[in-house]
Every structure is written in structure tokens, then in C-alpha cells.
Amino acid sequence: MSNNCPIRFIAPVGSVGGGINAAALDEALAQPTDFIACDAGTTDAGPFSLGMGIPAFPREAVKRDLSLMLRAGRKANIPVIVGSAGTAGGDVHVDSVLEIVREIVAEHKLKLRTAVIYAEQDKAYLKRLLHQNRILPLDPALPISNSIIDGSSRIVGMMGVEPLQQAIGDGADFVLAGRCSDSALFAAIPVMRGFPPGLAWHAGKVSECGTLVCETLGKGVISTTVSCEQIAIRPYGNGLRCTPQSVAAHGLYENADPFLHRECSGTLDLRNATFEAVDDVTVRIRGTEFFSEPAYTVKLEGAELAGYQSIIVGGIRDPYVIRQLDSWLASVRNYIDDVVSRVLDDKADKNSYNLVFHTYGINAVMGKLEPEVKNLPHEVGIVLEATAPTQDMAHKLAELSRQPLLHYPIKEWAGSITAFACLHNPAVIDRGPVYRFNLNHVALPSTPLEMFRIHFEDLDGSTQS
């Protein structure tokens, strides 16, 4: 394997749909480039995308960025790699992005040998792995069983470099992958070409969020060059710069451990990494290591339906109520439970629904972590959240909660009070289905490719009118 020449790639934006700076992309591509890569997903949006099967980003924004990347890739005749398609990277998400790709190919008369890699997991396969003790919990450990697998709306596996390398090796111009490690999108080709895995993976790690690695966030693209000895990373875009501190600090972002990052095939170790300024905007990284792990592990992400939700929004201004808010809300809740069991009787077992009062001004933002609970505000915002097995029941729960919230008495006032300022009429807002993440596990497949399905499609827009 020859790697005397360094390899250079472009990270055009932190996430497909984030808004590529087209001028900066052009400027970066004026230098020889080996590939373009970008992720299109995250769990950070919440469990809804995975559970419901719909993307969390507007289609138009995704199409604009994909179009810029695909046209740039064809113009330079280099591969483009996109992973975690459609936010959650399930099959339905990948297919929704593939449909956008077909439109771009037709509109711009592109020829595109496309590899589509599906990452959604077959439940029967996962149950077999579970039976063989080949699904292991991560920390914090969540329960797992056949019924939890069966009850999931959707489960994806987070792929490593190997399926991407297979696709590139088979001649793909464009790889559209389901759920994928962000760093793997950038590490796949450098690792395949024999560059040191520590540098290849670290190059991916520092590049995957686009210009977030810069001193100040701005509109631009990241250019990263990997050789046998070092990584050089720099931005293109007005006023943007990478500094040793900004690049080192990026190792902290959204990671529990700033030094050790687990990937499917091993662990990226930043403990001996050094960061030096090359010029005003470029940083050199050396010394990063990568250790192979004995077991190849694929992280699983699953979501299950938590129920349907309805909410009421309002506020309280009365200081007598605010100073006893906890006990007052507990009494209101008991009263609601009584009303619900009386009115909905056997349809509403107390364990089948969930009422939460978010008390803005007290501890709605921090919950149990809030240390400042002694200082009472003059006004408290309240969101009542009712979650139940059906939308109809969630709606009725919220409706039945309104009167107790309005009128539940306090001893300081004689006579009937109205303690709750409702924001809306009708007061109840139906939120539809809500999901929860239900897996924090890794699977141990027998091969790195076993959990992922690769399909090739030769898309050709040049023959269409």
C-alpha cells in the first residue's frame, strides 16, 4: 500500500442541511482533494425521529446541501460519503434521502454510482444475538429482552468504517449510509489506504462537526490532510481559524470522556495527542493512537412508543400558591387522579398514564439537579404534560386537569379561587405520539459487515429529458 502522498478531504458542513458555504467549498476544492464526507444525523434531536421514522431537518435544506456536495464530487471526480441519513439513519430515513438524491441526479443530469447502506436491524436477528449473549449493556445499563426488542419502533446499528470501505472498494461515487459513526465517514478511506488509524480516526473526530472545531463558529468548510506522521486541519471561510486550543477542545464536545473514544473496531486514544499552530488558521496534530479491541462491537439505538401526549400551558402569580407550590400541585394531582378514576373508570388505570407538572421559574429546566429551590419567583410558568396509551385518553386527562388546576383551594383564601392563568382556549394542545430511547447496548456481530446491507444503484440523469 502506498501512502507517500498525504490524503486530503473536505468536511463541507457539520450536518447535511446545516447550510454549506458554497464559495468556501469552491475555494477548498481548488486544491487536490480525495473525498468529501458529511454526517446527516444525530440522536441529539431526540428519540422522535428514530421512533416515528421521519427526519428532523427540512427537506429543502437537505436537498440544497446534498446537491452542492454531489455536484462538487462529480466535478472533481471524487467520492462523496454521507452517513446517518435522515437524522436517525433507519431504512425509511435512508430511502427518504435517496429520493432527494434521485431528484438532484435528474435535475443536474449527473451520473452517480450510488452505494446505499442500510443500518436498520432485523428483530429476529437481534433476538438470536441476545440469546447467544452477543448483546451487551453499556453504562447506564437499561433492561433488554425479546419483548423490548419486539416492542421497539425501530432499532439501528451504528456502522464503522468497514461497510463504507466495501462500498468505496466496489467503485461507489456516492455512499449513502444509514446510522454510522460520524468519525468513520472520514476515517474509512484513509484507513483503507493504510494511513495510521490513530491519525485517520482523529482526523474524522475533529472534522465531523464542520467549523465547530474553529475558534469561533462561522460559515465555512473544513479541509483536513492526513499523512503518515500528522494531521493538518484548517478552515476555509471568512475570518475562521483553527487554533491548537480550539482543535484540542473539540475532543470534549458531546463526549463523556475527552481522551478515549470507542469505535466499532477499537478505541481512539487522544492522551498523547499534541496540537501545534502551523500558521494563523492551520493546526497540526500528532501522536494520536488507536487500539484495536478484542471484540468488534456495533452500538445499537432503539426507540419505543412512550404514549400520546396532551399539554396545557399557563402560569401562577398568587404568592400564597407559589410559596406552597409543591404541596398544592401534589393535592391537585391527587384530585385529578380521583376525577379521572371516577369519570374514565376502568379505561384509566392510574399506572397507565403519566402526569408531569413542569414548573418554569422553580425547577422546570434542571429538575432534580436544581440547587436554587429556596428563592421563590413572583411568577411561575406551568406546563402540564399528560401522557397516555391513546391520544383520546391523553386529551381527556388534560381536559380533566384544567378545573382542578384552576380552582383547587388554599387555606389562605376563604371562598372559591382561580389559581391558574390558562394561556389558550381551548386549553389542551395535542402533541401526538412521543417516543423514548430504549436501548443502550452494543451488539457483537460475527463480521463487521454482517449487520449492514449494501445495495448499488447506477443513477443516471444524463439520459432523462
Partner 1 sequence: MKLADIAALIRSKNAGPFTLTFDIMFADQASYDRVKNSGALTQASFAKLYGYPEDKVRFFQCDNALALKFSIPRPLTQGAPGDGDMHGGQQFVPLMNVEIR
Query: With binding defined as CB under 8 A, does residue 280 bind partner 1?
Result: no
Cα of 135 vs its chain's centroid, Å: 22
Residue 111 forms beta bridges with which residues?
460
Span near partner 1 by CB under 8 A; candidates 66-74, 162-170, 364-372, 395-403: 364-372
Span near partner 1 by CB under 8 A; candidates 82-90, 144-152, 225-233, 431-439: 431-439
Least separation in angstroms between CB 5 and partner 1: 29
Q: How many CB atoms lie within 10 A of CB 261?
A: 20
Whole-number Å distance between alpha carbons of 134 and 445: 7
- Among positions 122, 254, 279, 349, the unique one binding partner 1 when judged by CB under 8 A: 254
Span near partner 1 by CB under 8 A; candidates 127-135, 234-242, 244-252, 411-419: 244-252
Place of cell 411561575: 380
Measured from the CB atom, the residue of 64 and 250 that comes closer to partner 1 is 250
Cβ-proximal residues to 194 (8 Å cutoff; 6+ apart), any chain: 1, 2, 3
- Among positions 244, 381, 389, 433, the unique one binding partner 1 when judged by CB under 8 A: 244
* Binders in 316-335 for partner 1, by CB under 8 A: none
Span near partner 1 by CB under 8 A; candidates 32-40, 84-92, 270-278, 423-431: 270-278
Q: How many CB atoms lie within 10 A of CB 465?
A: 4
Please confirm whether the linkage preceding 79 is cis (ω < 30° from 0).
Answer: no
Cell of 84: 446517518
Measured from the CB atom, the residue of 227 and 354 that comes closer to partner 1 is 354
Whole-number Å distance between alpha carbons of 95 and 97: 5
Query: With binding defined as CB under 8 A, does residue 365 bind partner 1?
Result: yes
**Secondary structure class of 225 (helix, strand, coil):** strand
Query: With binding defined as CB under 8 A, does residue 436 bind partner 1?
Result: yes
Query: With binding defined as CB under 8 A, does residue 435 bind partner 1?
Result: yes
- Specify whether the CB–CB gap between 288 and 233 falls below 8 A: no
Q: Give how many residues touch partner 1 by CB under 8 A.
A: 44
- Among positions 14, 17, 47, 220, the unique one binding partner 1 when judged by CB under 8 A: 47
- Among positions 245, 334, 403, 418, the unique one binding partner 1 when judged by CB under 8 A: 245
Place of cell 376502568: 346
Whole-number Å distance between alpha carbons of 266 and 114: 28
Whole-number Å distance between alpha carbons of 425 and 12: 46
- Among positions 345, 368, 415, 425, the unique one binding partner 1 when judged by CB under 8 A: 368
Residue window 379-398: x/- pattern of binding to partner 1, with contact defined by CB under 8 A: ------x-x-----------
Q: How many CB atoms lie within 10 A of CB 344?
A: 17
**List of residues contacting partner 1 (CB under 8 A):** 43-44, 46-48, 138-140, 244-245, 248-249, 251-259, 273-275, 306-307, 354, 356, 358, 364-369, 371-372, 385, 387, 434-437, 440
